[in-house]
A and B are shown apart, each in its own frame.
Chain A
Amino acid sequence: DAKTTQPNSMESNEEEPVHLPCNHSTISGTDYIHWYRQLPSQGPEYVIHGLTSNVNNRMASLAIAEDRKSSTLILHRATLRDAAVYYCILKGAQKLVFGQGTRLTINP
């Protein structure tokens, strides 16, 4: 499975945008880019996914580089409830393989 690289932690302020980066230089042409997040004491939850084009949903936006070797999850206006560990995962085969993720802290 192709690997992803994310910063261990990031910090932002409430009501400000947050950009969470992910590098995946060994991505293959059929790999989808998935983002999940895990709030404290809960199971992971799906955030967004994309293949080549940028994607938007009610939770976030996903910006994918033209060469697909990196992507950025964008939370447009962070709230305290967005404090979580965010996982960037490449999914081509059936299994989701989790890395360490980025722990996002939101300051009030």
Chain B
Amino acid sequence: DAEITQSPRHKITETGRQVTLACHQTWNHNNMFWYRQDLGHGLRLIHYSYGVQDTNKGEVSDGYSVSRSNTEDLPLTLESAASSQTSVYFCASRPGQGGSDEQFFGPGTRLTVL
């Protein structure tokens, strides 16, 4: 069955280190998204991509970057991890850009920055 996976599921790192979170989907969806969720809050959009070589900033993009070299993967990089980036990160994908399209979410990566 098609799916969306994230790795690692848990990560502890130190302030200032570069960290990359992986997201892989096997649906061949064009649209992929990264969100972060802090305790007691809803999801906030970090970056998104509508296809290969396309990337866009979301509402909380500072300190993060993404690249889209193929349809299946959208890795999220924290250039220099900060304690404020301790959060749970969710990747999502969607087939098209229509208003009726369902969005599928990964299981999440819990990142702790010490």
Contacts and interface: CB of A to CB of B under 8 A. Distances in A.
Contacts of B44: 98
A92 B98 CA distance: 8
Contacts, number: 50
Contact of A49 (B102, B105, B108): B102
Contacts of A91: 99
A94 B48 CA distance: 10
A29 to B, nearest CB: 11
A29 B48 CA distance: 25
Nearest to B103: A96
Interface string B14-26: 0000000000000
Nearest to B6: A43
B50 A95 contact: no
B106 interface: yes
Interface string A24-63: 0000001110001000011111100101000000000000
Given A31-B99, A32-B99, A45 B42 contact: no
Identify the 7 closest CB pairs spanning chains A and B, nearest first: A43-B105, A32-B99, A98-B42, A98-B43, A46-B102, A94-B97, A43-B90
